[in-house]
Structure 1
Amino acid sequence: MLEEKFTGKGKVLLLAGGGRIYTDVAARFVRSERSLEDIVASPYSRQIVENILASGHRAALEFDFFLFGVEGYSRVTETQLVRKRMASYLIKSGRAELGGKRRFSVVYPQRVRDFSASVTLPDGHETRLSGRDLAELSRQWYDAGLEAGLPEEDLRYLKPQATEFKAIIGMNAHALLDWFAIRCCRNAQHEIRHLATQMLRLCREAAPDLFRQAGPSCVQLGYCPENRLQHPRCRGHVLTRDEAMRILRQHGGGHMPEADLPDQG
C-alpha cells in the first residue's frame, strides 16, 4: 500500500548536543598557560564564546557536536543534505522491513501529487496520470518485482526520488553555522530549508550562546553574498555584498581591499 506524506511536514529531533559548551574550553586551551586540569575546571565563559563567534575564528566550535534524528523528508532532500561533507550520516536502508511489513512511503508537494498530465504509453494508448498515479504505479511495479524474486538492490534503481528517507545526522557547531548560512536562505529549495530551520530552532534552544546569531548568510554577515542571485523577496530589504562594498567606499573605506570582505561561510 502506498503511504503518502507531504513536504513541509518532516520531523527533526535533537538527540544530543547543548548543555555543557566546550567551545570556551577549546579556546582557552590554545591561549592559556594554565594546566589542562585548571582550564577544564574553570567556570563556563559566555564572553569567550561570543568573542570566538565575533572574530570568525571558528575552529574551537568544532568541539561542540549535535546529533539529530530526521524523518518525513524525501530522497530529493537527502541528495542535497549529503553535499555537506563535514557531517556524519546514518541513513535508514530503503530495503529494510518494519515489523515484517514493507512500506512504500513517498514525500512530495501536494501540487505535484495532484497534477495530472496526458501521457502516451509504449503501446500507443493515451491516458491521463496524476503524480499520485505515478507513485502508485511505481509501488505496484516494485512489489511485482519482489514477488518475481528480483533483488531489491536492482529494483530500487526505479524508485522515485519522492521515496522517504530517515537518518541520524551529526554535525559540529562550526559545520552547522556554515550549513545554516546556505540552507536557511530563501534561495534554498523549500524542503531542505524546512529541515534546516527546524534544526536551527532546536540548536538555539539547546545552545543559545552558540547559535543566537545563526541563520542565513545575511543574518551572519550583515549582507547577502548572493549579489545578482539574491532572492526577489530580499531585494531592497537586505544589502548585497556589492552594495555593502559601495557604502564602505563612500564612507572612507575605499582603501579596504575587496578580498578582505568575507564571503559566505
Structure 2
Amino acid sequence: MKLHFQVDLLAITPDSEKLIEEAGRTCYLSFGKITKDSEKKFIKMLIKSGHHSVLEHAYATFRIKGGSRAFTHQLVRHRLCAFSQQSQRYVSEKEFSFITPPSIQKKPEALKLFNETMETLKKSYQKLQELGIKNEDARFVLPNAVKSEIVISANLREWRYILQLRCAPDAQWEIRGICNEILKILKKKAPTVFEDLDMAPDPI
C-alpha cells in the first residue's frame, strides 16, 4: 500500500542507550563496568528483568504529517506523551484533504459514495464559513477522514508500549502503518531498546 503519511524524527536524546546505562548503573553503583559497548548487554538485562523504568530517561519526538483525524484520535489516548496537533479552530479546513480507507478504494460503488460525501461536507463547511460561522463551530461537520499533522514526544519506555500495541497484526491499518515507520527509525537510533519488537506485515 502506498504511504499517504510522512514520519519525521525531530529529536532523540543524544547517546540515548549510553544514558540509559549510566542511569541504570546508579542502582548498582557499577560504573566501573561501563565500556565502549557495555550498554547493549546492560539494556538487554534491564528489559529481560522488567526493569523498564530506566528507559524513561531517554526521549524521542516525531512529526507525523498526513494521518487522518481517526488516526490521531487513537494516538492521543496514550497519555504518557506530549502532543501538539494542527488546530481546526485556528486553521481553516475549507480545502481539506482526506484519507480514503483501502477497503473503500477497492469497491467502486463505495468509493463513489465516499467521495461524494467528502465533497458535500467540504461544501457545507465552506457555506458555514460564508454565513459567518467561525472555524471552531464550522468544524463540527468535518469527517474523521480529514488529514492532520501532529507532533508527539515520549520516553523510550512509553514508545515500546505504544509500538507493541500499534504494530500488532490486529491494530487498525493506518496507525499500524505509521507506527511501523516509527519503529523502523527507532530500531536504527536505539537498536538495543527496540530490537525485540516486530512489525506486523501490511495485509492490505
Partner of 2:27: 30
Residue of structure 2 aligned with 1:105, choices 93, 97, 117 = 97
What is the aligned-residue identity percentage? 24
Kept in 1, the 8 Å contact 2:94–2:122? The answer is no
Counterpart of 2:15 in structure 1 is 20
**In the TM superposition, what is the alpha-carbon distance from 1:77 to its structure 2 partner?**
0.7
Q: Structure 2: which 5+ runs fail to align?
A: none
Higher Rg: 1
Question: Are 2:41 and 1:47 equivalent residues in the alignment?
Answer: yes
Instruction: Assess, with a 3 A threshold, how the Cα gap between structure 1 residues 173 and 138 changes in structure 2: closer, same or farther.
Output: same
TM-score in terms of structure 2 length: 0.85
Give 2:189's aligned residue.
Answer: 206
- Alignment partner of 1:74 out of 48, 68, 76: 68
Query: Alignment partner of 2:168: what SS?
Result: coil
Amino acid at match of 2:126: D
Residue 179 of structure 1 corresponds to which residue in structure 2? Answer: 162
User: Per the alignment, do residues 97 and 153 of structure 1 end up closer, same or farther by CA in structure 2, a change over 3 Å counting?
Assistant: closer
Q: CA separation of 1:156/1:115 partners in 2, compared to 1, >3 Å: closer, same or farther?
A: farther
CA–CA distance in structure 2, aligned partners of residues 206 and 18 of structure 1: 10
Superposition TM-score, scaled by structure 1 size: 0.66
Q: What is the Cα deviation at residue 19 of structure 1?
A: 4.2
Aligned mate of 1:93, from 87, 98, 106: 87
| Structure 1 moving runs of 4+ over 6 Å | none
Report the 3-state secondary structure (helix = DSSP H, G, I; strand = E; otherwise coil) of the residue aligned with 1:136: helix
CA contact (8 A) 2:67 2:149 kept: yes
Counterpart-to-counterpart distance in 2, 1:212 and 1:74:
29
Deviation of residue 20 (structure 1)?
0.3
Query: 1:18, CA displacement in angstroms?
Result: 5.5
- Tell me by how many angstroms 1:30 deviates: 2.0
Alpha-carbon distance in structure 2 between the residues aligned to 1:7 and 1:161: 20
**What SS class does the counterpart of residue 105 from structure 1 fall into?**
coil
**Aligned counterpart, 1:188:** 171
CA apart distance, 1:115: 4.6
User: Distance in 2 between the 1:88 and 1:18 partners?
Assistant: 15
Instruction: Give how far 1:200 is off.
Output: 0.3
Does the Cα contact within 8 Å between 1:19 and 1:207 map onto a contact in 2?
no
- Give unmatched runs, 5+ long, in structure 1: 1-5, 118-128, 220-232, 234-265
**1:257 aligns to what?**
none
Q: How many residues align?
A: 197
Structure 1 pair 139–31 and aligned structure 2 pair: CA distance change class (3 A): same
Q: How far apart, in 2, do the equivalents of 1:32 and 1:42 lie?
A: 15
Q: State the distance in 2 between where 1:109 and 1:78 align.
A: 15
AA of the residue aligned to 2:109: S
Shift of 1:42: 7.3
CA RMSD of aligned residues (A): 2.9
